[in-house]
Amino acid sequence: MPILLFDIDGTLIRTGGAGKAAMEAALQTAFGITAIRDEVPYSGRTDLAISRDLLQVHGIEPTLENQRRLCQAYLEHLPRSLTAKGGHVCPGVRELLPHIATRTPVVLGLLTGNVRPGAAAKLKHFGLWEFFRCGGFGDDFHDRDDVARAALASVAAYLGRTVDPAEVWVIGDTPWDVRCARAIGAQAVAVATGWHPLEELARHQPDVLLPDLSDYSQLRQLWE
Domain edges within the chain = 3-15+88-222, 18-85
Contact partners, residue 44, CB within 8 Å, separation at least 6: 113, 144, 172, 174, 175, 176, 177
Check if the beta carbon of residue 101 is closer than 8 Å to that of residue 78: no
pLDDT at 9: 97
Check if the beta carbon of residue 107 is closer than 8 Å to that of residue 3: yes
> For the residues 79-97, what does the mean pLDDT come to?
96
**pLDDT cut 70: percent of the chain above it:** 100
Checking if the pLDDT of 83 tops 90, the result is: yes
pLDDT at 7: 98
Backbone angles phi, psi at 36, to 5 degrees: -80, 125
Contact partners, residue 1, CB within 8 Å, separation at least 6: 105, 106, 107, 159, 167
Counting DSSP H helices and E strands in the chain, the numbers are: 8, 8
Checking if the pLDDT of 148 tops 80, the result is: yes
Q: Is the previous residue joined to 98 through a cis bond, with omega within 30 degrees of 0?
A: no
Ramachandran sector of residue 151 (left: φ over 0; alpha: ψ -120 to 50; beta: rest): alpha
What's the chain's average pLDDT? 95
Checking if the pLDDT of 104 tops 80, the result is: no
> For the residues 192-209, what does the mean pLDDT come to?
96
pLDDT at 102: 84
Say how many C-beta atoms besides its own lie within 10 A of residue 173's C-beta. Answer: 27
Checking if the pLDDT of 223 tops 80, the result is: no
pTM above 0.85, yes or no: yes
Contact partners, residue 134, CB within 8 Å, separation at least 6: 107, 109, 110, 151, 154, 155, 157, 158
Checking if the pLDDT of 1 tops 90, the result is: no
Q: How confident is the model at residue 220 (pLDDT cuts 50, 70, 90)?
A: confident
Per-residue DSSP letter, 9: B
For residues 19 and 16, give the distance between their C-alpha atoms in angstroms, rounded to a whole number: 8
> For the residues 152-176, what does the mean pLDDT come to?
96
Check if the beta carbon of residue 134 is closer than 8 Å to that of residue 155: yes
* Four-way CATH pick for 3-15+88-222: 3.40.50.10490, 3.40.50.970, 3.90.1150.10, 3.40.50.1000: 3.40.50.1000
pLDDT at 103: 77
Per-residue DSSP letter, 166: G
> For the residues 29-37, what does the mean pLDDT come to?
93
For residues 173 and 78, give the distance between their C-alpha atoms in angstroms, rounded to a whole number: 22
